[in-house]
Structure 1
Amino acid sequence: MKSVPRRKYTEEFRAAAVEQVIVGRRGLREVARSLEMSDKTLANWVGDARKGQAPVKRGQRPPVTDLEAENARLKQENARLRMEKEILKKGSGVLREGVAVRYAWIERHRNAYPVGLMCESLGVSKSGWYAARKRAPSQRAVENARLVTRMQSLQRRHRGRYGRRRMHRALRDEVGRINEKRVGRLMRQHGLQSRLRRRFRVVTTDSRHAYPVAPNVLARDFEASAPDRKWLVDLTYVATDEGWLYLALVLDLFSRKFVGWAMSERIDEDLALQALVMALEWRRPTGELMHHSDRGSQYAANEYRKVLAARGITVSMSRKASCWDNAPMESANGTVKVECVYPEHYATREQARLSITEYLTYYNTERLHSSLDYVSPSEFERRWRAENQRKEEPAS
């Protein structure tokens, strides 16, 4: 038989229970029954409280004033109200759900709060809860338990980054057809939601320079027919105890894959150039390629433009103060911040560098991307190449 974990009682709860017996005018068994605890436990508490006091004859109670009795009653009422407030706060998500869901919530918290108070707060009967406990779990409950176990495993693997939609697609690929609302409901009930999105603002663009500025050739056409046709770039920053660590990124618009990156304690042309060189050496683009950036001095500088010109790459720049001209890059930048940077505290720049590098490789190879019908960037490119190879094969 499965062992039931012992309930944990706060000192305030213990004191209120003992006062009802010693100061109040209620019997020990009556108090224990109202608090849903054993007579023996309460008797031990009362015994501990009475140590050092003069013995009281059986059937007698120590003298008590009306004020003491009222104080004991008020303490008990306050303790009850605080517990009720906690129950409603923690269980608010199941108030809109069915009775079975509320019963399950009560079962999970039965060692933290009195069952009667939870039933009253969540609007279910105590007798119904006890009856439900005796029934064998339904097939639906068994399936839900399996789904929750799998969702917990996925959230550990992805470090709590998956929301309802990504979790739904990951489960659908594993277990087949499943309702997205069901996934969201189970995630809420078991605290498996993704991290909340935080506001961020990148202030790394310095367009006050004398370098030439390219026109906006991209013109918000965020569609690409193949890999290495359109690259988007940007700079951002990461806080560490040692100071800022600046990050330069290169994104392939076709697959939303990070194809180049570099990090430095200085935000200069060399940082942006390192990320570009990584992308060029890794991808070795052969067709027509467009490079789109903001008007920052790092991307307009002479050496940077020389590298682009030597490769025959078309240069495109956003209009002044128009982040929407580079929206996919801004979105990817924000995702890096929300899923990788904000949840962490970096003591050193090296620690941040390792963490971000690990995340970028995870982003490329494992994270399901909503713009790619929920497959990873690497998988999206693999499928595209396989499809093109199949089309090029001669018919037998």
Structure 2
Amino acid sequence: MYSYEDRMRAVQLYIQYGRRGAATVRDLGYPSVKHLRRWYRHYLKTGDLPPDRSLPGNSYSPEKRRAAVDHYLQTGRCVAHTIRALGYPDGGTLRIWLNEDLGPTPQSQGRGAPKRHIDDKRQAVYELCTRQTSATAVAQRYGVTDSALYNWRDQLLGKEAKRSPVKRQDDNANDGDPEALRAEVKALEKRVHELQLEHDILVKASEIVKKEGGVNPQTLSNREKTLLVDALKGAYRLSELWKAVQLPRSSYYYQREALQRPDKYAEARQAIATIFENNYRCYGYRRIGESLRCDGAALSEKVVRRLMSEEGLIVGSTQRRRFSSYRGELSPAPENIIARDFQAPAPNEKWLTDITEFPVPDGKVYLSPMIDCFDGLAVSWSISASPNAELVNAMLDEAIRTLAPGERPVVHSDRGCHYRWPGWLKRLEAADLTRSMSRKGCTPDNAACEAFFGRLKVEFFYARQWTGTTMEQFIAELDAYIRWYNESRIKMSLGGRSPIEYRRDLGIAA
């Protein structure tokens, strides 16, 4: 409970602050806003506050008060359970009784107790450690008890504060003791030093090791910890740095020696970067490893993958968006002869075709290729700014010219309108080629051609910025990529060779 003077001071300050309860409680440190408003309403009605510190509806005998506090202590320290069992008082009143009898413990402060900002606590602890007056005077300035003030000190300073020679029970005995004050200041300075060290480690982890600021230093590798220690050893002792990052002394010196050794993979790094850049930045570790083996520098896949990661050589990711030329069932569709069997024992037995688009700054560019299921070779292709009949007809004419006498491949496509127009049908009939079509809305029926488009866009289109590129320049670069795809781009399914190299090794004219 609060004295008459305390309650009157609170009501007068409440009026002075324009009836802003939160500001009043923040300055005084008591009571709750609910009790403050109750006092104010009583003050308006009577012009005064009751001198016996009891308000209407809150008058309880000392015996009832003692019974409520004992019940609280004996039944698990639950305010709600005590109120339900006894039928009195309200939660705020019971917490006030507990605060007076037990001190400001976490169980007795309740939701109505004002929450202190961390800066206020730090200032109070600083004044406690450097005080010229008693701890009681410092506590009164912040509206808390001595016990709460020392709890703040222990929370902020940790174990060093608890080991300090200043005694809580006999605080006044140390008020004039310079040694005790110096010990507390030293403990505070030590804690500040430790916090600064933790901060610097996190900053360096972000700058040097490229880790986020919230990374746990203990989860870093010994090599990364060694880099951190070397970066901070000019400002801190090695022993405290080792302890902070949990790095054994022997491991530190081993890693330092390892970091000073010449990089045995220096030439391999340069070769990997060259292969990556010269192949549209699309080679992963498997194809780069195969290229190195062809050049006589064999490295394991794990080493190639690690070196690529350290050099930041990352293959671009896909951004899927499909072009559709379907315009409905314009004419009867032929049978799906391919039936998802995209394997061919010889060239020019199964051909796949489709259309895809590339949005560039000047507009859209459309590509129509003819893919051979034997080895994935692009037999022919046409590129245009419009997805018209000429796009597919020109591609088909060029593909037919590559056929030897007697070769009659199956030409498989989706159900797009381009493959149902008279020009397309007339050319297939004249060359005696067999038509095959996917089922309606079934992309997997033409999966091998779709896979070609996917690789093309990931390796060539999505990995680059095309701002400022004209349509003519883009068409020229797309044409160059497909030629590189046929002649130089290795496929692991072909034994690390390009489609044309594979045919040459088999003795097949390409």
TM interval, short-chain normalised: 0.5 to 0.7
Which of 393, 400, 410 is the matching residue for 1:273? 393
Cα distance change of structure 1 residues 152 and 189 upon mapping to structure 2, 3 Å threshold: same
1:89/1:237 CA distance change after superposition, 3 Å: same
Counterpart of 1:223 in structure 2 is 343
8 Å CA contact 2:410, 2:433 repeated in 1: yes
Instruction: Identify which of 159, 179, 182 aligns with 2:280.
Output: 159
- Seen in structure 2, the aligned counterparts of structure 1 residues 340 and 283 have a Cα distance that, compared at 3 Å, is farther
1:218–1:231 Cα change, 3 Å: same
Query: CA 1:219–1:96 in structure 2 vs 1: closer, same or farther (change >3 Å)?
Result: farther
Q: Give 1:264's match in structure 2, choosing from 357, 381, 384.
A: 384
TM-score (norm 1): 0.67
SS in 2 for 1:246: strand
Structure 2 residues not aligned, in runs of 5+: 1-190
Matched, 1:294 2:414: yes
- The structure 2 residue matched to 1:232, chosen from 344, 352, 355, is 352
Rg larger for: 2
Q: What's the counterpart of residue 198 of structure 1?
A: 318
Query: Do structure 1's residue 309 and structure 2's residue 436 form an aligned pair?
Result: no
Q: Determine the C-alpha separation between the residues in 2 that align with 1:168 and 1:97.
A: 28
Which amino acid in the other structure matches residue 364 of structure 1?
A: N
* C-alpha distance 133-183 of structure 1, shift in aligned 2 (>3 A): closer
Match of 1:327 among 440, 447, 453: 447
* CA 90–74 in structure 1, closer or farther in 2 if over 3 Å, else same: closer
Matched residue SS, 1:218: coil
1:65 is matched with none
1:179 paired residue among 290, 300, 303: 300
Q: Which deviations, in whole Å up to 9, do the C-alpha atoms of 1:238-277 show, x marking residues without a partner?
A: 0111211111111111121111111222112221111112
Return the letter of the residue paired with 1:292. Answer: H
Q: Closer, same or farther in 2 for the Cα pair 1:285/1:330, shift >3 Å?
A: farther
Contact 2:282 / 2:316 at 8 angstroms: preserved in 1? no
Which residue of structure 1 aligns with residue 482 of structure 2? 360
* C-alpha distance in 2 between matches for 1:264 and 1:321: 25
1:247 pairs with 367, 370, 373, which one? 367
Change (3 A) 1:114 1:358: farther
Amino acid aligned to 1:360: I
Deviating more after overlay: 181-190 vs 333-342:
181-190
Output the amino acid matched with 2:267: R
Count of aligned positions: 307
Partner of 1:350: 472
- Whether the 8 Å contact between 1:251 and 1:259 is mirrored in structure 2 is yes
Q: CA deviation at 1:285?
A: 6.2
Structure 1 vs Structure 2: percent identity of aligned residues?
30
Q: Call closer, same or farther: CA 1:114–1:253 in 2, change over 3 Å.
A: farther
From 361, 380, 384, the equivalent of 2:506 is 384
TM-score by length of 2: 0.53
Q: CA RMSD in A?
A: 3.6
Partner of residue 84, structure 1: 205
Q: Indicate if the aligned counterparts of 2:344 and 2:374 stay in contact, CA closer than 8 A.
A: yes
Uncovered stretches (5+) of structure 1, i.e. residues with no partner: 1-69, 389-396
The aligned counterpart of 1:45 is none
Q: Which has the higher contact order (CA 8 A, sep 6+)?
A: 1
Question: Using the alignment, how far apart are the partners of 1:245 and 1:123 within structure 2?
Answer: 57
Which residue of 2 is the match for residue 337 of structure 1? 457
Q: 1: distance between equivalents of 2:273 and 2:233?
A: 27
* CA distance, structure 2, for counterparts of residue 122 and residue 190 of structure 1: 28
